[in-house]
Amino acid sequence: MVKGSIFWRLLITVLLLILIGGFSLQQKTEYGGSAAAEELQPAVSVVSAYFSSGALPTAGKIALTFDDGPSAVYTPKLLEGLKERGVKATFFITGKNAERFPELVKQMHEEGHLIGNHTYSHLQLTKSNRDKFQEELVRTGEIISGITGEEVVYVRPPYGSWDKSFEKELNLLPVLWTIDPLDWCTQNASEVVKKVISRAKENAVILLHDEYASSVAAALQIVDELQKKGYEFVTVEEILFD
Ligand SMILES: [Zn+2]
């Protein structure tokens, strides 16, 4: 679709340029060179209006994901900043925090963000705790859907430990990440921003945590910089199924 629209845009531009060329030649033969520049103006503004119509070719889709929240202090600031920028993100929340801050979960959902399961207590799956892990996933899914009214389909297993058989058993899709700036081990937002920007590319999934001031500040700066470069921020669902 995007490629198609770029093609038409280029074709229209070429046609407009041919028209302008023809027009300016005609002016030159009739009135001499000086009149042509003035007459060219309208045609030039048509071209620039076409390009500034907001549909510039994009650098692609990219997803911000936030784990371990919501946090009473930082999540509201993040949600406000995302809303101002028209950005949809994905939150992988723990059942424990969802129970503590249901209003924030509700707000995330109402503002168009995607909410995924991150177990109840941030449990890491090991060889010996499969049943407990499964129980936590089920419990967390129920807590979240009790708040949002929507079934939870996506899971980010803490530390990335996963067992494929849960996918069918629990009807859950695991979502990992492609860019991890290790935001939890620094308080320096610009360091996090730099790491993410240097690795940004189409369909990347960025991992951050909305429980630190620096991570929230970094997230909003990342949005500002990458939007300028033409990236569109979407939920992971749009990256996985497009
Ligand atoms: Zn986590």
Give the residue with greater pLDDT, 11 vs 167.
167
222 and 106 fall within a common domain: yes
204 and 112 fall within a common domain: yes
153 and 134 fall within a common domain: yes
39 and 109 fall within a common domain: no
Domain edge (last residue) among 51, 74, 90:
51
98 and 207 fall within a common domain: yes
Looking at residue 31, its pLDDT comes to 35
40 and 101 fall within a common domain: no
State the distance from the centre of ligand 1 to the C-alpha of 180, rounded, in angstroms: 12
Q: Which residue has the tokens 């046609």?
A: 15
Counted domains in the chain = 2
State the distance from the centre of ligand 1 to the C-alpha of 128, rounded, in angstroms: 20
77 and 104 fall within a common domain: yes
State the distance from the centre of ligand 1 to the C-alpha of 11, rounded, in angstroms: 48
**Positions marked catalytic:** 67, 209
Enclosing domain of residue 32? 2-51
Q: Which residue has the tokens 């027009």?
A: 23
Looking at residue 241, its pLDDT comes to 86
197 and 95 fall within a common domain: yes
State the distance from the centre of ligand 1 to the C-alpha of 96, rounded, in angstroms: 12
Looking at residue 242, its pLDDT comes to 73
pLDDT tens for each residue of 107-164: 999 999 999 999 999 999 999 999 999 999 999 999 999 999 999 999 999 999 999 9
* Confidence tier at 47 by pLDDT (50, 70, 90): very low
Which pTM was predicted?
0.77
19 and 98 fall within a common domain: no
State the distance from the centre of ligand 1 to the C-alpha of 122, rounded, in angstroms: 6
What ranges in 122-242 are assigned the alpha helix state H?
130-148, 165-170, 189-199, 213-228, 236-240
125 and 47 fall within a common domain: no
- Secondary structure class of 163 (helix, strand, coil): coil
* Confidence tier at 44 by pLDDT (50, 70, 90): very low
90 and 210 fall within a common domain: yes
For residue 242, the surrounding DSSP H or E stretch is none
| Structural contact between residues 69 and 210, judged by C-beta atoms closer than 8 angstroms | yes
Looking at residue 55, its pLDDT comes to 53
pLDDT at 202 over 70: yes
pLDDT at 74 over 60: yes
In the chain, what's the furthest Cα-to-Cα distance?
89
**Angle at CA 137, nearest 5°, toward 126 and 233?**
105
